[in-house]
Chain A
Amino acid sequence: MIDKREAPAGASGLFANEPASAFKSAPSLHPRNRRDFVAGYAFVLPSLVLILVFTFVPTLYGFAVSFTRWDMLSARWTFVGLGNYSALLQSRELWHSLLVTAYYLVGTIPVTMALGLALALALNRKFRGRAFFRLAFYSPVVASTVAVAVVWLWMYDPLSGILNYFLLQLGFPPQKWLTSPATAMPSLILMDVWKHVGYDMVIFLAGLQGIPHQLYEAMDVDGGGRWAKFRHVTWPLLAPTTFFILVISIINRFKVFATIHTMTKGGPVDSTEVIVYFLYQQAFQHFKIGYAFAIAYILFVIIFVLTLAQWKIGKASVHYQ
Chain B
Amino acid sequence: MDSFSHALLGKKLLAVAGCAFLFFASVVTVTAQVTIDFWHAMEGPKGPVLKEMVNDFMKQNPKIKVNVSLQGGYTDMVRKVQAGIAANALPDLAMLGQRHGIPQISDSGRLLMLDSILTAEDRKDINPQLFGRYTYQGRLMAMPFAVSVPVLHINATRFKEAGLNPDKPPMTWDELVSYAKKLTRDVDGDGRIDQWGFHVHSDVAWQAYAFIYQNGGTLYGPDGQARLDSPEAVQAMQFWSDLVHKHKVMPAMAHESGSKLFTAGGLAMFQRSSAFIEGAAKQIGNRFDYRVVYLPKGKVYGVPDGGGGLGVFKSTPERERAAVALLKWLTDTKGIARFGRETGYIVFRKSSLGLEEMKSFFAGSPRDLVASREMEHVRSNPVNHADGVVWDGLGNVVEKIELDAKENIPALMKELNSKVNKEIAEARGK
Contacts and interface: CB of A to CB of B under 8 A. Distances in A.
Contact of B82 (A73, A75, A180): A73
A76 B423 CA distance: 17
A160 B430 contact: no
Nearest to A161: B257
Contacts of A285: 75, 100, 388, 391-392
A157 B251 CA distance: 12
Interface in B368-422: 388-389, 391-392, 395-396, 399-400, 403
A159 B254 contact: yes
B82 A269 contact: no
A290 B253 CA distance: 34
B421 to A, nearest CB: 15
Interface in B129-169: none
Contacts of A176: 253
Q: Is the interface of B mostly helix, strand, loop or mixed?
A: helix
A269 B105 contact: no
Interface string B266-284: 1000000000000000000
Q: What bracket does the count of chain A residues touching chain B fall in?
A: 20 to 34
Contacts of B101: 287
Interface string B240-259: 00000000000111101100
Contacts of B254: 157-159, 179
Contacts of B89: none
Contact of A269 (B79, B256, B400): B400
Nearest to B107: A74
Interface string B102-136: 00110111000000000000000000000000000
Nearest to B83: A72
Contacts of A286: 388-389, 423
A133 B399 CA distance: 41
A70 B387 CA distance: 17
Interface string A258-289: 00000000011110000000000100111100
For the complex of A and B, 4 pairs with smallest distance between CB atoms: A74-B107, A179-B253, A73-B108, A159-B257
Given A73-B104, A159-B261, A180-B253, 16 more contacts: A73-B81, A74-B109, A75-B108, A157-B260, A158-B254, A159-B266, A160-B261, A160-B266, A176-B253, A180-B403, A181-B403, A267-B395, A281-B392, A285-B391, A287-B101, A287-B388
Interface of B: 75, 78-79, 81-82, 85-86, 100-101, 104-105, 107-109, 251-254, 256-257, 260-261, 264, 266, 388-389, 391-392, 395-396, 399-400, 403, 423, 430
